[in-house]
Each structure stands twice: as structure tokens, then as C-alpha cells.
Structure 1
Amino acid sequence: MTVSRRLFMAAAVSTAVAASSVSIPVTTAAAATRPGGAEPPYRIPIGPGDSPESVVAKASRVRPTARQIAWQKLEQTAFLHFGVNTFTGLEWGTGDEDPNVFQPSGLDTDQWARALRDGGFTLAILTVKHHDGFVLYRTRYTEHGVASSSWRGGKGDVLASFAKSLRRYGIKVGVYISPADENQYLDGVYANGSKRSARTIPTLTPDDDRAGDDPRTFTLDATDYGAHMLNQLYEVLTEYGPVDEVWFDGAQGRIPPDKVETYDWDSWYTLIRALAPNATMAVRGPDVRWVGNEGGLARENEWSVVPVKDSGNGSIDYALAYDAPDQGSRAALAEARSVAQYVQWWPAECDVSIRPGWFYHEDEKPKSVEQLTDIWFRSVGRNSVLLLNIPPDERGLLPDADVTRLREFRERIRKELPKDLADGARTRHDRKAGTVTVDLGRAREVDRVRIAEDIRHGQQVEHAVVEARVGDTWRTVTEVDTVGASRALRLAAPVTARRWRLRVTRSRGAVRIAEFGLYRSQV
């Protein structure tokens, strides 16, 4: 849910990395300009030879790309799991499904788009291909897809309808193309033992309708299956309009251990960057990482700069365990020095389904508004982006209960964070004390606080306190050890005060605060 944001102030914090309390000279927003306009690195090499202090110093110099900044501003995105599993009742398909099982009698992607718009989503991702290998568009490279179904006489194309509807309602288009492919394992080239070699993409098929068009071609290293994926990526990224996110997981097919397919990540990434340069690659991609669970929950302190290691063929992975409770603190960075190769801007995405399953099952119900609200505060409110799955049913519609729940969820977040009481209030920057004070003009009740760093300058805050002037004393209302792009905090009880202040007490480098919002919820 995108809440109104504004540049509130810029504060340059002492770069003394070991200090427990530092002076925070407050500067103007003009100080945020990058010298010479040079693009800073989003990934910096580290190794065992780095001291704990030097790793922290390097982490403080890591900056997000423009693509990552734009993605993090989305805050809340949607997933739509739809395919043969919708009709078989499975969560992981077998790959040998009869394509005729796919029969959405009332497919209406405009209904999807309206529901997503009304729920506050600005980007949605469709499962163009799940692990079963069944594809939702008219591909040239497999018979396991909509073109082989009697649905709409074999002329149906869910992706085409999805993309048109989303753009009609002002929503960005994302695609999920599973690396795993049970159908290609059974009847194709998945894990066939082929070696990487130079492949021409697209690989034209007999009677290919593109043969006379002189399509743009690429020569990329790939296995037989890697080339199959490249050809499908080429179709999706050249025939359906602009794509804003390409979503991969790292799933392997349910095959014997000696039949594992080594994915050609580097070639896939190269093709995506060439054909969709503005597309974010998640979550097995260089732009965005999986938070480590499917409950939609970020860590209490979620760092966007984390230690990573090379996992083969141009892919990077967590240096520490993916589910480690600490990924980016000083202690985590020090621990990772022996195994990590880089510190990288790799922000977290929190995926969760509105229902117990990822695909629609008639006997399941959507989560309550209270559950979704708690997830929002523990994802968007913890420096992450929420990816909420809403699965279409057998009709090809989002279920009525889910559509209603999305509207209720959006309205609830509006009530949690209504008008920012600090918007337009008098503020004072104290360079000596390193604080920003907000005078609301009169005593006001506050029970929600929202803070954000200007992440164009990295993630720097290691500890900050929010204080209210109660009587003649500044009282600590809440405190945090990380901020990042978004930190939304719920106070245990409302606090009434006229004057409020944010005080950063520890940081890695220069801190610039983009938002310090004060709210009284209406729930």
C-alpha cells in the first residue's frame, strides 16, 4: 500500500562506525546530490582479508540501482497463481496433465485488474509457467500449454489478456516463468545431461512466423533446457509489451538427484536485461531476494545490504543461511567474511498467499483483515516489499471473498495510517544535537510512526529513537535498530504530545531521512 511520501529532511551522520552515540549535523536536501553524478556500486567485493570494520565501511558505500529504488517504492505487489493446478487441485503439477483440463469458463482479466487496482496494487505477476511446465500463452516451444487445450478452440492466451487488462487499469506487468519443468523432464530436454554451448536465440522453429521479420538475435551459452527457457523468455519479452518484473525461484523438478539441471542464470539475466532493461529480476535474481519464508514476514531488522556469494553461472546467493535471523548487522557481516564474496544491495521481498495454498482450492478461505494488516506491518513496515498471492478460481475469476478482502485490507491500512500529522508542521534541525524536532502546534495523540531513509544514499541507521516531549521531559516512545526504505511502527498505546523528535544515535555513514511521519490510527 503506497502511503504518501515526501522528502522531509536530510541529515549527515558522522561516519565513525564504532561509536555508540554520534553527532548528526542536519543539512539541506541539496547535500544529497551525488558528486559528479557518478553511479555508485550496488555490489562491492569483500573477503577474509577484510576486517570487521572494513566490511561495515564497504556496506555503508553500497547503493541501490534506479531499478531497485523504483521497485522498493511499490511497497505492495500481487501474485496470481493460475494454471492446470487450478483444475487438478494440486500445488505442484506432474507435467503429464491433459491440456484439456484447463477450462476457465468465465476468464475475465479485467475483473482481476479492477480488484487489484481497488486493493491498492500497482504491479502484478502472473504464473506464465509453473513447475508443471504448462504455459499460459501460445508458445512455439512446447505442446504443454493453452494452445493444446480445447479452451477457446486452442486460440486462448491468458498472458495476452492479462497484460492488456493490467495496462488498461494502470498496473505494471510481471511474469513468473518457473525454472523447474516437469513436462520437459518427462517429454523434453530438462536435465538431459547436455553441455553448455553457444545457442542462437530465438531458435526458429519449422514454419516459424518470425522467419521473414529478421528478429533481433542473441548468441548465449546454454544447455538444451537453458536454450528452451531462453526461447520462451524471448517470446514473453518481445510479444506482450513492456514487462516490469521477471520472477524466478530456484526450484528443481521432482526428479532423481542424478538428474539435476544446472540453470543458465547468466544467459537468462543477459537476455532479460537486453529485452526488458527496466524489469526487476526477483527473487532468484540480482535485484531482489527472497526473505526466506512464505509467511510474508521480514526480520525485525531487515537490511537491504547483505553478504552474498557466487552460486554458479552468474547467480548469487545468501552467504549465510537463507533463513538466518540476522543477515546484515555488524555481527552478520563479520561472520560472513570467510564465505562471502560481496556486500550487495539485495532488498527483501516477502511472499505470502491470501489463502493457505498458492493455487485456488474451493475449501480454503482468505486470511482475515487483521492477519493481512499484521503481515503488512511486518513486511512493508520492515523495509521490504509485500508480494501477496490472490489465486483465480476455476472460472478464471478472483473469488468474491478475496476481492472483498482486498478492498477491506486497503481501507484498513488507510485507517492505520491516515493523514500525517507532521505534514506541514514546523520542524527544527539541530546540527549540534543531531535531531529533528516536529512541532504539531498543539498536543496531538499519536500511535503510529513511519520513518524512511533516502535510500539513494544507502541504508545507514543502526539505532534511532523517537521521542515525545511530555511535560518538561523528552520521553522515549519507541526505538529501532534499522530503518531503510520504510519503517512503520505501532505504539502500544497512544501518546499525547505537541513536540516530537527523531534522534539517530548510531549509524554506518551519512544518514539522510526522507520521512518522519506521525499518525493517529482510526481503527
Structure 2
Amino acid sequence: MDLSRRVFVASAATLAVTAGLPALPATAADPDLSRIPVTPDDTPADLVRKASQVRPTARQSAWQALERTAFLHFGVNTFTGLEWGTGDEDPNVFQPTGIDTDQWARALRDGGFRLAILTVKHHDGFVLYPSRYTDHTVASSSWRDGHGDVLRSFADSMRRYGLKVGVYLSPADENQYLHGVYANGSARSARTIPTLVDGDSRSPSRFLTLDATDYGAHMLNTLYEVLTEYGPVDEVWFDGAQGHIPPDKVENYDWDSWYTLVRTLAPDASIAVTGPDVRWVGNEGGLAREDEWSVLPVKENQYGRTDWALSYDTADEGSRAALVTAQPKTDYLQWWPAECDVSIRDGWFYHADQQPKSVDDLTEIYFGSVGRNAVLLLNVPPDTDGLLHATDVVRLREFRERVDRELPADLTRGARRSVTPGGVTVDLGRELDVDRVRLAEDIRFGQQVESLVVEAYTAGAWSLVATAGTVGASRILRLTEPVRARRWRVRVTAARAGVRIAEFGLYRSSV
């Protein structure tokens, strides 16, 4: 959807159901309201009050506005047929002789995507650029006589076609385990980053001193290369995977130092999904919860890792009841929006015997993610030639065209609007059929809506058309049948604090 179409309406009115709650003041010591501490003495009313005051950072707001992002799983697994590599692959298996990253970028742009994340390093440890800190890289392959650099080509192409750049570096590293670095039991100690090596021609303007294990320092140096030599990075994606290693071997990841390095070198980049900015939705099917909250109870684990106070797969992560249930384990209430990851094919890496999902399936995923206050992360894996398969390219275009038909021109554009406490009324000027309703809060003021109704004025009275719980940055409701009416309204029936409606759009789909 073209975001330039979106109409913004603000209401400063506070609903009666929350009028008795005092505002939580920001203090000079803690001006960042993306997380607010929770104490054991907080009452249920305190928890709701605090949740109502949590606000996204600028980087989080920008990330939520992306709506559709892409993943590109590509590496030695593409050529070995594995989903999880072993770390001892011969780099010569990596031979994408027809690689065309401009083709990737065009296909993603034409599919309606705004950011793409490349698997710079998957669990096997093979790196898609010539790193100074490992030989398990493209430089050890005969592809392009050892001078290939997929990350360079990827980053240049994405920017050339107007997409933002994301990088995924797996914390797990089978190759570094084989070399005695990963999970070697080393203690954390102060490390100088970047760590210069023999023949290093760099002259950094500053060095950072960060605590890390041997492997943590390896990751810091790798991150430093990626974040300083390939242009602006908009998202850094981690997961929490451990290697396929003996159960008595564990690498305790240096999350605090990794986060600090990213914040220092790429301050505008969102850190996902094992990160403080973006969370995993809890499944790999691309679907958010029916009521998805961006404000969650969280705790800190393992050197500053942001973690769920409740389980990652809890059906209710942020309601009033969830806040109370989570309180004994909660350190903060935090703005931590959901990312819904799913692959266009069954696997994350390309396999010739797999086919892409249907347009209907992708459309359901769209409404189940973007339509439920989350961002869609769709994986589209390049094939062994280094291209997005022609079938996938067609499917991406068909997917975008289908979404455009589901949500064509907003019928409220130019319509008369009136804002009332807890609601917005729209007069379309004439009776029109509507079967899609799009809503959004102005999340600069937090996520407040707990329930609402959408009504149409028909036969001389207001009639119920649809109900919903949460809204957040994006909520899309599909009506089972078109409703014909001139006047429409949304009424918020429960909220945590004052509601600002940023969008109340009406559509007639053409599918």
C-alpha cells in the first residue's frame, strides 16, 4: 500500500474509562520512554498506567512503517541442499555463476518490499564477504577467482532500487567451533574493537573497548567490518541459535557488547529479533496474534538480552491480564513490536523440488501480519545460479498486485471527518460499498486501544459492522460482505489512555 495515501487524524480526548489514571512523568534521568521499569509493588492500575506511557523510539516507528520486508537466505547451504550447515564445507561449493543482485532488488521492489535482509553469515559460519577474521568466506572460493563479495553487491543493488539494507549474522558458528573459538569456555574480558591483524590497512578514528569471550570478540570484529565498510545498515538481525555442538558446550553470547557496537556504528538500525527493538512473533508461519501488542512485559537475560517475561509463544502477550500475570518476572514494560517471519517456500534456503506459496496463502499471511500490528518478513531464497527463481519473481509481483486489489484507493480521501472523544466519523458524500477497513493509532503516543467497533449508518440508524481489539500501527478488518453506506464511524470502547486515531480508511476490494 502506498503510505502517502494514509490520512492522519489526531484526537487529544481521553476516554472516560481511563480518565482517572495520572500521567507518568518523563524524568531527566530517563527521557527514553521505550521501556519503563516495573516493581513488585505496582498495582494492576499502575501497570496499565505505565503501559500507556511506553513510546516507540524513532527507529522503531520507522521500522513499523515498512510493513513488508524480505529475507534472502543464501550461502553454502544453497549448494549443499542443507538447511543447517556443518561448518566444514569446501568453500568451492559456493559457485553462483549467474548472480544478479539487481534482479533481486527489482523483484523485491516490484513485490512491494521496502527492506531486505541478507544472511551474511548463517549457522555454518560461511561469510558472504572477504572477512579478515575467518577463511570460511567467499574469498576462499574459486568463484570470481576469490574476489567475489556478495554483501557489497547486495547492498549496492538494494540502495540502487530504493530498498533499505539489513544484515543477518547468526550468533551460532559451526566453523568457529571446529576452530576452537566458538563455545571454548573462555572468560569475558576487555577486547579492543576492531582488532587489527597483520597487513591491516585500516586507520580507525576510534577504537572501542568491549567485554567479550573469544568468540564474542570474533563476532564484534565481524560486525565492525559489516557496519563500517558497506554503507548505512538499517536492520541488524540476530537469532538466539546455539550450534549443533555437544550439550555440555554453550556459548553465552555477549549481547550487551554486540548491542553497544551496533548502536555506536549504526544508531538508526533496528536490532532484531533477539534484540531490544524488534521481537520474533513466536512462529515461522508469518502470522501475528489476533490482538498483537507492541508494549510487552520483558526481562533481561544473559548479558542484557531482551527476553519475554512470558513465553515467546504465549497467546496473550500484552493485555491487562498478561501484564499482571507477568509481573513477578517483569523488569520493564517495553515497546517491542512483532516481526512475522515466513519463507515463500517450505525451506529457508533454495531447494529445486519446492514451489512457492500461492497468492491466496501469501495474502492470508499479509492480513495476518501487517493487518495485525506486525511487520511481515518474507524469505525469498536465491537459487544456485544466484538468482531469484522466475516462479518466485512472478509470485512476488502477483502478491503485490493482489494486495493492491484488496486495498485499492481509500474511499475516505477528501471525505468530511469529525473527531469525537474516542471516535472518528466519516461522511463519504454518497453511499458506497465497503468491505475493508484499515485503522492505525498514532503510535508516537503509544498503543492505547483495547477494543473498538466499526459502524455504518444504514436504514436510519447506526449498525454494527465489525469489532476488533488492539490496533497499534496497523489493523485491517475484512468484512464478510460489502456494506453500503454514506456515513461510517469507529468508536473506541476500551483504552488505556487517550487515543489518537492516525488512520480510518475504507475500501472496496476488487478481488
> Normalization by structure 1: what TM-score?
0.94
1:125 equivalent to 2:117? Answer yes
* 1:29 match: none
Deviation digits for residues 325-373 of structure 1, max 9, x if unmatched? Answer: 0000011001001111110000000000000000000000000000000
1-structure distance, mates of 2:198, 2:14: 65
1:230-269 to 2 correspondences below 5 Å: 230-269=220-259
**Cross-structure match for 2:455:** 467
Which structure 2 residues correspond to residues 7-156 of structure 1 after superposition, within 5 A? 7-14=7-14, 40-156=32-148
Report the Cα distance in structure 2 between the residues aligned to 1:379 and 1:64, rounded to whole angstroms.
Answer: 19
Q: State the one-letter code of the partner of 1:60.
A: S
Distance 1:114 1:348 in 2: 26
Q: Distance in 2 between matches of 1:98 and 1:171?
A: 32
User: Match for 2:142: what amino acid?
Assistant: S
- Alignment CA distance shift 1:224-1:17 (3 Å): farther
Measured in 1, the distance between the counterparts of 2:88 and 2:66 equals 37
- 1:429 corresponds to 2:427: no
CA–CA separation in structure 1 for the residues paired with 2:287 and 2:134: 37
For residues 42-63 of structure 1, what are the alpha-carbon distances to aligned partners after superposition, in whole Å with 9 as ceiling and x for unaligned? Answer: 0001132211111111000000
SS where residue 65 of structure 2 aligns? helix
Report the AA paired with residue 418 of structure 2. R
**Structure 2 residue 303 is the aligned partner of structure 1 residue 316:** no
C-alpha separation in 2, matches of 1:384 and 1:198: 38
Q: d(CA) in 1 for partners of 2:93 and 2:133?
A: 20
User: Do structure 1's residue 341 and structure 2's residue 309 form an aligned pair?
Assistant: no
Task: Give the 3 Å change call, closer, same or farther, for CA 16–48 of structure 1 in structure 2.
Answer: farther
> Do structure 1's residue 485 and structure 2's residue 473 form an aligned pair?
yes
**What residue is the counterpart of 1:509 in the other structure?**
497
1:52 maps to a residue whose letter is: P
**1:273 pairs with one of 263, 276, 280:** 263
Q: Distance in 1 between matches of 2:92 and 2:15?
A: 63
Helix, strand or coil for the counterpart of 2:290? coil
> Which of 427, 434, 437 is matched with 1:439 structurally?
427
> Which aligned pairs between 1:213-224 and structure 2 lie closer than 5 A?
213-224=203-214
- Which amino acid letter does the alignment assign opposite residue 105 of structure 1? T
1:17, distance to aligned residue in structure 2 (A): 5.1
Q: Which residue of 2 aligns with 1:301?
A: 291
Does the CA contact (< 8 Å) of 1:2 and 1:120 recur in 2?
no
Please give the alpha-carbon distance, in whole angstroms, between the structure 2 residues aligned to 1:191 and 1:35.
41
Post-superposition shift, 1:188?
Answer: 3.5
Aligned to 1:392: 382
Are the structure 2 counterparts of residues 214 and 472 from structure 1 closer, same or farther at C-alpha, using a change threshold of 3 Å? closer
Where does residue 156 of structure 2 map in the other structure?
164
Report the AA paired with residue 112 of structure 2. Answer: G
Amino acid at match of 2:356: P
Q: Distance in 1 between matches of 2:393 and 2:103?
A: 9
Q: TM-score, normalised by structure 2?
A: 0.96
Partner of 1:495: 483
Q: Is the 8 A contact 2:70 2:117 kept in 1?
A: yes
Change in CA separation of 1:500 and 1:214 when aligned onto 2, cut-off 3 Å: closer
Partner-residue secondary structure (3-state), 2:257: helix
Residue ranges of structure 2 left out of the alignment (5+ in a row): 21-25
* Alpha carbons 2:442, 2:500 under 8 Å: kept: yes
AA aligned opposite 1:8: F
Secondary structure class of the residue paired with 1:337: helix
Code of the residue aligned with 2:456 in structure 1: it is A
Contact kept, 8 Å, 1:454 with 1:512, in 2: the verdict is yes
| Matched AA of 2:384 | E
State the distance in 2 between where 1:282 and 1:465 align.
33
1:222–1:17 distance in 2 versus 1, CA, 3 Å: farther
Instruction: Report how far residue 12 of structure 1 moved.
Output: 3.1
Task: Look up the SS of the partner of 1:258 in the other structure.
Answer: coil
Q: Following TM superposition, by how much is the alpha carbon of 1:35 offset from its aligned partner in structure 2, in angstroms? A: 13
TM-superposed deviation, 1:14: 2.9
CA distance in 1 between partners of 2:223 and 2:14 (Å): 47
CA RMSD of aligned residues (A): 1.6
Please tell me the residue identity of whatever aligns with 2:172: A
Aligned counterpart, 1:375 = 365
2:6 counterpart of 1:6: yes
DSSP-derived class of the 1:510 partner: coil
Offset from partner CA, 1:257-301 (integer Å, 9 cap, x none): 211000000000111111111111000011000000000000000
1:198 aligned onto 2:190:
yes
> Over residues 168-191 of structure 1, what are the superposed CA-to-partner deviations in whole Å (9 max), with x where a residue is unaligned?
111111000000000001114000
C-alpha contact (below 8 Å) 2:15/2:499 kept by paired residues: no
Alpha-carbon offset, residue 427 of structure 1: 1.4
Distance 1:282 1:469, change over 3 A: same
**What secondary structure, in the 3-state scheme, does the structure 2 residue paired with 1:10 have?**
coil
Q: Deviations over 1:406-449 (max 9, x none)?
A: 00000000000001001110112335xx4321111111000000
Q: Percent identity?
A: 72
Cα distance between partner residues in 2 of 1:260 and 1:39: 37
SS in 2 for 1:227: helix
User: Aligned partners of 2:326, 2:320: CA distance in 1, in Å?
Assistant: 10
Aligned counterparts of 1:486 and 1:4: Cα–Cα separation in 2: 15
2:433, 2:15 → 1: CA distance? Answer: 35
AA paired with 2:108?
A: L
SS at match of 1:161: helix
SS of the residue aligned with 1:378? helix
- Say whether 1:292 aligns with 2:282: yes
- Any idea what SS the aligned residue of 1:267 has? helix
Counterpart CA distance in 1 for 2:346 and 2:282 is: 18
For 1:25, the equivalent position in structure 2 comes to none
Q: Which residue in 2 is equivalent to 1:28?
A: none
Structure 1 CA distance for aligned equivalents of residues 12 and 32 of structure 2 = 18
Give 3-state SS (helix, strand or coil) of 1:485's partner: coil
Taking the aligned partners of 2:70 and 2:448, their CA distance within structure 1 comes to 29
SS in 2 for 1:147: helix
Deviation at 1:463, TM superposition (A): 0.9
- Quote the Cα distance in structure 1 between the aligned partners of 2:204 and 2:31: 35
Report if the CA contact (8 A) 1:459-1:484 is conserved: yes
Residue 317 of structure 2 aligns with which residue? 327
Q: Give 1:31's aligned residue.
A: none
Q: 2:23 — aligned with what?
A: none
What is the CA–CA distance in structure 2 between the aligned matches of 1:40 and 1:194, rounded to whole Å?
A: 35
Question: Aligned partners of 2:335 and 2:267: how far apart in 1?
Answer: 18
Letter of the structure 1 residue corresponding to residue 9 of structure 2: M
